[in-house]
A and B are shown apart, each in its own frame.
Chain A
Amino acid sequence: MIHPFQSVASNSDGSLLFFVIKNSILVYSVKDSNDEFKLVGEWSDEADSTAIIKEKVTKEQQRQLAENTAKKLKANDGTALPQEHKEAKIPKPGQGAPPIYQYIRNVKLSRDGKWLFACTDSDKAIVMFEISAEDKNNCLRLAKRQRLPKRPNAITTTIDDKQLIVADKFGDLYSFGVNDDQPCVNPEPILGHVSLLTDVAIGLDSNGKQLVFTSDRDEHIRITHFPQSFIIDKWLFGHKEFISTMCLPVWAPELLFSAGGESSIFSWNWQTGELLDRFNIAELIQPFLTENHLAPDRFQNKEGNLIEYSVSKIVTFDSLPLIAFFIEATKAIFTCQINRDSGKIALKQVLEVPYNVVSLACAETTGELIATLDNQNSHDKNFVAFISMDVDKFHINQSKQQKFDDFINSRLSDNEIANIEQEGIYPLYHVASLRKRGEH
């Protein structure tokens, strides 16, 4: 079988689609007239982290040796103890340790569509690609690999695409020059939370000044000036669970949508700090919840019916006052109409797709939604759902989906990386694990 697509990004008119399978990125062009797909770029992450780990371990060994020398370890008779100089070993995870996945977590395009950024997982790096349409063999030109001290989790770019902004799982935010020739060696964070960062976005205030938005596992959305990231503008208070996704629409620069581990989508006027609406999805989501949404045994209630679900991602379009979002491990995509003046959220449509949604992207100018699906039980069908707008209504484009399935089967059925056995599936669901469990 072919591995499900873990992540997807689309350029603004939907003519280039970027998919992630395990540790590889596949780029397909789509001809609008007849939905004809073509492979235009690919890249596999073959980075071997052994050398880096070795370097780290050796450094730590040297530090410890230096420390011991400073302490002058002595035997009982007062003579200095000889220091051992064994070669540093690369630690191997023991039995029961979580598996190390050498895979790509997510991909994101620059605003102008000229760059692609990928977050790698255990390697803790951002890989930057220049997208060159002229190159007929491979449109992905690897520019550089920026290593980070901790796992990167979310990326965005400044309005002019000159700086890449990276949020990591340790709570720190970094900024890198996109056009810099060399990766930064010892990056220093430009701001930090004492909490895992889940999403990052850039917005403009009424004076055209940039601000950076960071959301975390401790219910906080923080708004900070950029590049003066030592000046905090405000926090948006109201979430009672972790936040997983934020979305700033082009059509209303003062609005912000956010959601996460609770049953509401929040609508804010971030410039005034006012919470404009809380759109409750508890009833809407009911038909799509399964036993996979039962709370883990340790945190389950006496009746055994405690359900937990999380909003995975919210997206919006360039010119349509709409948002679309999905709940992790469900087959539904929701679209909502936004009142431009009041910020109120109203349901537009509930779209049911054949399998659980894994990731969601949108072609901002054409209003098309592209959802990758957890199709591991489908016998290599339904990799992606294409949802397009047709006279003010969204519909699932069945024929495009069919053509895409045929295309993928013809291209990938003998691809070594993409083909796997069931146990080889990389993690598709990450959001639920963000839920906080108070320890003591």
Chain B
Amino acid sequence: MRAGMSLDDPSSRRQSYRAKKEENRKELKHVKIDAEVVAEKVELPKKRYYRQRAHSNPFSDHQLEYPLSPNDMDWRKLYPYFYDESKGDMTKEVTIADIGCGFGGLLIDLSPAFPDKLILGMEIRVQVTNYVEDRIIALRANNVKTNAYQNINVLRGNAMKFLPNFFHQAQLEKMFFCFPDPHFKQRKHKARIITNTLLSEYAYVLKEGGIIYTITDVLDLHEWMAKHLTEHPLFERLSQEWEDQDECVKIMRHATEEGKKVERKKGDKYVACFKRLPTPEII
């Protein structure tokens, strides 16, 4: 079977759906949506048109767009509502990142919980990113009066390679790693999103006291992530009591698509949260 074809979903229909949405995205992705223009309700995207294989090789050279440096990132395009025309600058910067945000469930639940924070999802799969974009466009359009969902957006990117191109040192307050690809094979462990070496990069973009949230339904991966985070000198595990009172943990447990899937299957969900410690004295 040719790639992009599926039996119950003739490619022509999917192609035309994707083309239409693409047009829509071009028009609405980077603009403040005008209440006058969007009179009728925008339909939420249908997930079945965005199916893509579940894995993407983080080592390969994708055709990615990323800024030359954090100073070169044009955030206005992602959060037009937070751009101050008179000052020519953003009124806020991104402080919450959902790495590998998938279909965007967490972003959408975090949005009303943190209306004053800018939240960014990063996703490596093109079609999945498109879905989240279309979902946010529809939600923004349908909530024009309240300006809801203006504080979230998504971009296609390889966070394992290019995270420092987007964020300044100590810019982030929270980073989420929800149901990451488990990469079971030992040979593939470097492809995991939590490794000793990548944790130093996360520690660089997180401010002191910032939190890393992890959740997975794979016990082996949970233990691996907890082990590496615990061993890293710049992170400290937070207690069960802390987890129980934290709002984000609550949202994370129930919001994400993967989380819901696990719930339906009555599977286990393992959570571990870590605090960014102060940088020690340089020796």
Contacts and interface: CB of A to CB of B under 8 A. Distances in A.
Given A232-B200, A232-B201, A436 B59 contact: no
Contact of A438 (B63, B68, B204, B282): B63
A231 B206 CA distance: 12
Interface stretch (A22-30, A234-242, A307-315, A344-352): A234-242
B280 interface: yes
A148 to B, nearest CB: 14
Contacts of A229: 200
A437 interface: yes
Given A228-B280, A235-B164, A192 B60 contact: no
6 closest A-B pairs by CB: A192-B197, A237-B69, A438-B63, A194-B160, A232-B204, A436-B61
A209 B282 contact: yes
Interface in B105-146: 126
B227 interface: no
B161 interface: yes
Interface of B: 58-64, 68-70, 72, 126, 158, 160-162, 164-165, 169, 190, 195-201, 203-204, 232-234, 279-280, 282-283
B197 A437 contact: no
B234 A440 contact: no
Given A228-B282, A229-B200, A238 B64 contact: no
Contacts of B232: 230
Contacts of B233: 228, 230
Contacts of B204: 232
A108 interface: no
Most-contacted residue by chain A among B62, B72, B160, B204 (CB, 10 A): B204
B69 A238 contact: yes
Nearest to A227: B283
Given A189-B196, A220-B164, A234 B169 contact: yes
Given A436-B61, A439-B62, A230 B203 contact: yes
Given A228-B283, A237-B69, A195 B161 contact: yes
Nearest to B200: A230
Contacts of A232: 200-201, 203-204
Given A172-B197, A191-B200, A230-B200, A438 B62 contact: yes
Contacts of B169: 234
A440 B190 contact: no
Contact of A209 (B72, B160, B234, B283): B283
Contacts of B60: 439
B46 to A, nearest CB: 23
A91 to B, nearest CB: 15
B267 to A, nearest CB: 20
Contacts of B234: 230-231
A294 B162 CA distance: 29
B241 to A, nearest CB: 28
A355 to B, nearest CB: 32
Interface of A: 170-172, 188-189, 191-195, 207, 209, 218, 220, 222, 224-225, 227-232, 234-235, 237-238, 240, 436-440
A226 to B, nearest CB: 10
A425 B164 CA distance: 41
11 contacts: A170-B190, A189-B197, A193-B161, A194-B158, A194-B198, A229-B200, A230-B199, A230-B232, A232-B204, A437-B61, A440-B63
B68 A191 contact: no
Given A232-B204, A235-B164, A192 B198 contact: yes
Contact of A439 (B63, B69, B283): B63
Contacts of A171: 190, 197
Nearest to B61: A436
Contact of B195 (A192, A207, A222, A228): A192
Contacts of B59: 194
Nearest to A219: B68
B279 A231 contact: yes
Contacts of B282: 207, 209, 225, 228, 231
Nearest to A436: B61
Nearest to B197: A192
Given A230-B203, A230-B234, A231-B282, A191 B64 contact: no
Contacts of B61: 436-439
A238 B68 contact: yes
Most-contacted residue by chain A among B164, B197, B283 (CB, 10 A): B197
A207 to B, nearest CB: 8
